[in-house]
A = this chain, B = another copy of it.
Amino acid sequence: MQTERQREIIEAAIHLIHHKGIQGLTIKNLAQAIGVTEPAVYRHFENKIQILIAILDVFRGNTANIFEQEQFRQVSALEKITHLFNEHFSTFTTNPALASVVFSEEIFKNEPLLLDKIMSVMSGNMAILRDIIQEGQANEEIRNDVPAEHLSWMLMGTLRLYIKNWQLQQHTMNLKSEGKKLIHSLSRILLP
């Protein structure tokens, strides 16, 4: 279980990455952000890697759950996919800093442990999306002339690039409402 301070540190770390990139995530900056001295941080985390691991767990908790929960809802495949996308746009609108971390595998490229973790979350999400598409194809709700695998690359790729662009534009566009239009186009493409 996490203490209040640990949660505070993780939140500050995510914000640091968001605003200054991974190179801005230093223990000094982190300590400053929560208003203590550097060594105090080490009372709450053994080392910096443990902080990054904790960030990844927040990521898993937020993003992966969006996928997992969708999987078992009793609605059509297309509705699942639409809802999935909307949930993502909502989450990132509420917590833009999270998006910076989620789609930046580069951040974790150094530590193999971290890279493994982020890759397993990613491929898990992809598998769920593919299953939903396959289910839709079986119901003749989604086009069958293209492999589910390729459709899931397409959906996930579009989602990621769209969010990355929103980030690079410093959130000037309305991700939720513009996203709705994009989702509309994507579902049209999925139809048989």
Contact = CB atoms under 8 A, between A and B. Distances in A.
Given A107-B106, A147-B185, A161 B156 contact: yes
Contacts of A54: none
A176 interface: no
A153 interface: yes
Contacts of A156: 161
Given A150-B185, A150-B186, A105 B168 contact: yes
A160 B185 CA distance: 20
B168 A110 contact: no
Given A119-B168, A146-B188, A189-B146, A162 B158 contact: no
Interface residues of A, number: 36
Contacts of A52: none
A168 B120 CA distance: 11
A61 interface: no
Contacts of A109: 20-21
Nearest to A156: B161
A22 interface: yes
Interface of A: 20-23, 104-107, 109-110, 115, 119, 122, 145-147, 150-151, 153-154, 156-162, 164-165, 168, 181-182, 185-186, 188-189
